[in-house]
Structures are given as C-alpha cells and as structure tokens.
Structure 1
Amino acid sequence: MAEMPAVDWRVTRLARRRATVTRAQVETVAGRAVGLFGLVFGAQTVPVALEQAGALVPGAGAALMAVLYGAIVALAVATVTKVAVRAACLGFAALYVLALVSWPFLVADPAALDGSAPWLYYLCTVATTAAVIAVLPVWAGVYTLVVPAIYGTIRLLPAGGDAGPLLAVLDALYAVVLGVVVLAIITMLRQAAESVDSAQEAALQRYDVAARQHANEIERVKVDALVHDSVLTTLLSAAAATSPEAEHLAARMARDAVQRLDEAGATGPRAFDRVGLPVLVRRLRAALTTFNTPFTVRVVNAGGVELPVEAMEGLYSAAVQAMVNSLQHADDSGLSTRRELRIRGVRAGGCVIEVADNGRGFDIERVPAERLGLRVSIEERMANVGGIARIESQLGHGTTVTIAWPLGAEGSA
C-alpha cells in the first residue's frame, strides 16, 4: 500500500500565510504615519514659529520650539524603531496641550501677531492623531474635542490673533473634523484587523486539530497494514507449521513482526506533524487578550522555524502558566509592574520564550513542594517534551522564566 504524504508541508504553508491586515500592522502603519506627518507639519511651521517668536516673552519661542520639535523627532524615531511608540505619542499629545494652554501667558506683544493664528494650530492634527494611537478610543475622542475647543478659545483672545467668533469656531471645527476622521479610520482599521486576527487564529487552530487527526489516521492505517501483512501472516504460518523448517520460518517471521511493531511505536503518530513558530506566537498573543494586564511582546526570528506539535503544546502551556504566575504573584502594592513576553526562534527548529517582570520576586528555595505551578506546570512539562525551563528571581528585582526547546536552545545566540 502506498504511504500517504506527510502533513508537515501543508501545516507549514498555512502557518506561513499572513493576513493582509493585522492589528500589529495597523498599529505600525498608523504610528509611522503620525511620525512622518509630524516631521512634515513641523517643518512647515518653522518659518511661522520663527516669525512669531518675537511676539513672545524672550526665550519662550525658542524653548517652545525645542520642546515640541524635539517631541516630534522623538515620536518619529519611536515609530520607526517600534520602541515605546505609545509613550512617545502620549508624551507629544500632553506637551501639545501644555504648550497650547501656556500660549496666552507667553505672548508679550499681541500686536506683533498681526491677527495671524498661532503656529501651534498647524500641529493640532498631529496631536489628535498621536492621542488616537496612545489611548483608548473614548479618551482619544475626548481629546479630539477638547483640544480644538481650547484652541478656539485662545483664538478669541488678543494673544490668539483676536479673531472673531465665527473664524474661531470655524478653525476649531476644522480641527475637530480632521481629528474625528482620523479617529474613525484608525478605529475601523483596528476592528477589522482584530476580526481578521481572530478568524485566522480560529482557522489555524482548526487546521492544527485536523492535521493531528490526519497524522493519527495515517499512523492507524500504517499499523493496520502492518498487523495485516506481518502479524496475521505470522500467526497463520505458525498455525500451519508441521515441520521444523516451517516452525523456524514462523519464528523468524515473528521476530521480524515484533521489530516492525517496535519501530512503528517509536515513531508515534506525530512524527511528521510540525508547525511553524508563527502559529505559537499567534496562540500566545490570543492568550494575552484574556488577561487584564498587558504584556510587552517581542518576537525575533520567527520566520522559517518549525516545531513538533508536542514541543509547541509544551511551550505554549508552560508560557501561559508563567504569565499567569506573574499576574498572580508579581504585583507589589503601590508600584507599577512591567511585564514582557519575548519569543525567539533558534535556527530552523528551536524556540526560546522568556516571561519577565520587574515585580516583587521571590526566593525559589522557599517555594513549597506542594506548589505545582512551577515544578509540574512549567519545569516537568518542558522536561517531558525534551525541553528545559529555567526560573530566575530575586526579591524586589522581579522574575524571569526562560522556556526553551530543544534542550540546549536557551544557550544559542
């Protein structure tokens, strides 16, 4: 009977398929867009800012430009490197509000403005977009309404150009419309991306189950054929043996059948079942959505790495248990705990996962023997699949749980 093809190439091909739009891609594109347009809008306001600096308190114009333009540059760098993007966006949004509120107190000669709008106005859309990226949609909506209202109020003052009510309202409404449009677009893209992520995750999980069932079916057919071709034939030969030569042949056939059964048992039904590391990454990201406390996720070298299903299940279960332990035990009253999930592919068939926090930590030697979260759910689970778990913790300095497969992968660069 011809052997059925292995399922690993199909699982791997599906695992490598990426959705056209994912939540991470939306955040990256939105962040880089605000960084780019922040630089463009900031460059456009430089001539106006220099012109209006003479109307401000001496030194205030230079300080204001240094703070806001520096924040824009920091925002652009953060979005390009994808490091602390939300913090940079939140920082710029907060600094913009402070600059806007401070403007009337910084203007020493309103007449020098000659009725022109403060140069801060041209950065309003950048600030509202940064707020959309940095905070929840409801707070971004409040920011999008309040900040233009503050600007409209300033516009009515002599320090804001002494514009009439109609012009002030139109300027404020224009900023609100732009901010609401950006908020709506980014929110809809996020929701669409989350739906795609959920659908893809569900499809990958269903395919994972189907692939394992298919591998089991392949093994069942293989064992059935082996029993039929070897074991039953051997029993029939032994039953029909009436001479020493026939008995000797039956004994040799029996030894061969036992050897083939041992080889079939050693390979197991999942010998060909391998899944790409991106599947594990997506499963862990999905698990994080069930937690109330966020983890910073960093993924390195996930492409092209394939793991056996047994190893993936062990890595997933141990990592989730480590994250649950951090949520339950790491927080210290009055302090903010930062948590990270770091996933790194090692060559073509290995993985290292680190679950780290800067919480209260603990003394590993004093963990009671009956506590199963560390010894059974993490350490023994990884040992059973041929991996390793290492736990490092110190009182007051946090905890790091390193989970690696196969054994020795944790030491690979």
Structure 2
Amino acid sequence: MTVKKKAPKKRNNGLKFKGQKILLGITGGIAIYKSAALLRELTIEHGADVQVIMTDSALKFMSPLIFETFSGKPVWTSMFSDKEMVGVRHVEISKWADAVLISPATANIIGKAANGIADDLLSTVISGAGTKTIFAAAMETGMYENPIMQQNIKRLKDAGFGFVDPESGPLASGESGVGRLAESRVIVHSLLTHLKTGRLKGKKILVSAGPTREWIDPVRFISNPSTGRMGFSLAEAASAEGADVIVISGPTEVASPVGAELIKVSTAEEMKNAIVEKFAESDALVMSAAVGDYTYPEAGSEKLKKNGSDLTLNLKRTDDILSAISGDKGDKIIVGFSVETENIIENSKLKLHEKSMDFIVVNNPKENGAAFGHDTNKVSIIDRKGSVEELELMSKGELSTLIIDRVSNLLNGS
C-alpha cells in the first residue's frame, strides 16, 4: 500500500483568498455599512490582502478608521496628497491587485466605468484594472431599473467585467424591491469565481449532499447526523471553477449553496431516482450524501402508539445508488464517500472497485473534528490504483477545493 502524507506547513486552513491581493472600492451608498463586515470576512476569515479605496461620497457615510482596522492599512481617499509623492499611484494599484471589488457599487460608479470616465482615484483605478473589476450593485429600484442603468450594466458585462446582481428586499427608502446589496457570501463566491481559471467551464457536475430520512410513521424517522455542509461546499467549489452544478440534497438546515441548482429530497428512494435522472447528463458525480442503508416499508399514515411491550421494526435494505448507476459510467467521473470505523482502508478499497469509482474519500467519525457535524474534516483519499493519500484536519472548504481539483484533473486528462 502506498501512503503519501501532506506536509501541514503547506495547508492554509481553508482560507479562500490567501495570497490574493484584493482592492476593495467603497462608494457612497447606504449599503456601505455592510462593507465593514465584508472586509472583515475577506481579511480575517479568508486571508485576503486587502487595500481599501473610499470615494468622497463614501467618506460622508463612514470614517476610514474601521476599514483601516480590518485591513491593517491606511485607506486611500484621493489621487493627490500633500503629504506624499503620488507618482502613478492609480497604475501601481491596478497592477498590484489580483481583483478589484466595488461594494457597494452605486449607479454613479457603474455609469462612470461603463462610459470610460476616470475623474477620481477609484474610477481611474477601475479604468486601469479593466476586467479584473467586479461590481456589487446597490441602489433604489427606480435607479436600477432605469434603461440607461441597464445599458451601462450590459455594457460592462459584455466587456467581461464581473457583476453581482442586487437582491430584492427592503430598501433604505422604506420601499421594497430589487436593488438591495447581495449577501456577503454571494459576493465572496462571485469574487472567488472571478479569480478562478474556470477549469470546469462547460462541465456538468452532480453533487449529492446531506442525510436521508426513512419514515417510521408521520412523526418519527431513521436518519444520521449529516448536515450537508460537505456537499454544499463541494458544489460551491465546482461552481467557482465554472461548472454547471446540480445538488441533490436531503433535509438540512444549512444555507443553500451559491451558484448551484438545488433539488430537495427526503428518502433514499427519492435521492436514487433524482440522481439516476440527472446522472445521464452529467460529466461527474460527487456522492457525498449520507444515504440511509435501511428503510421501513410498513410506515403508515398514523402515529405508532406505544404500549406495554417492546417494538420491533422489520427494516428493508435500500437500493445502493452507486451500484445502480455504475453500469452507465462510461467516461464519467464518480467520486464516492465512505464512513468507516474499522478496517477503514480495506473496506473503502472494496467499495471503490465494486462501484466503479475513480476515487473515494474516507471518513472516520472517531477522529476529532472529522465526519458529521463539524466545519472541519480529516480524510484519506484512495484512487483506482490503490494509492492512499492521508490528509490532516482541515476545513471542509479547503477539502472541497482539493477534491474538485482532482475531479478537474481527471476530466481534463491531467
């Protein structure tokens, strides 16, 4: 057995933007208060190196101090300064940044960018950065739906600029409508996608997630502790690389994955039917769901009443989903997940070959921070040659990136 261990020093603990230089441009809109939390998320939670530019209008809404605190750098507010030599600052900033995120992006800055106007530091940087720029729009509904604004947005999108469409909801005016700044997790995902190479563009990835429920009666069911976090994280990682992603998920309380179509199911039978239907049009299946092994075929429409005696349930084996589709594999990629507590590698290798997987991700729930109910996981990955790669404890976000990288390499023949 070949075992390769990863060096802990090379791990980044799941920081999505570690090593990435982000310029955060902040303009004068009421949604500016959300930019502080977004900056904190980018720097502290995701490891980005962020430089902030605030426009004159933004300074009317908030002080630079909070942004300097979270970025650890002075906020730039002017093209010219009496205290320092400016030189070609706007050119240097444009070259320094891997991406330029404008959040909130007002009608004014969108209009300037769409028409090539560069009359302050931020608009000049955008002019130099070009399609490295992504706009997260926020404005009143009437402004957003104005035909001129829609033309400006279309011009930017057609030119290759990134754009995070606003959401519908309560607005500063007290009205409700489209124009509300998107949630930070949507903005972060859009930024990540903008920075990625798009190695899965044109590919269709099917992901299963969460637990299944096998009902005993209308109020009781058999299930497991799966939360769906791993599957949803895999879906977002695939989407960030440009894939068209469908997630088939059992019941979960986790927020729906960004950038993916979500199909909700409950039982193992429902999950099997949905996967069989979608598998034919997919390039890869990542089977991370914790599907129930047994079902109760005698479940009725009324609650089982307790009495003085014990209750015995006659359970029936559910259909194995990967076994059901393995005959139609062809050149599709299949990734399985295994939860084992004994003979872990041997049992997982058996599953790998019996179900025609390309590789299998092995979980041991006895490991601290692994498997169900955690934001982290500690797994081994076994490929078709029998090689075993043991990974140390890491976030499910980082693990998802590693798994999707493997899928991408297999699909692209590298």
Of Structure 1 and Structure 2, the greater helix share is in: 1
User: TM-score, normalized by length of structure 2?
Assistant: 0.26
Of Structure 1 and Structure 2, the greater strand share is in: 2
User: TM-score, normalized by length of structure 1?
Assistant: 0.26
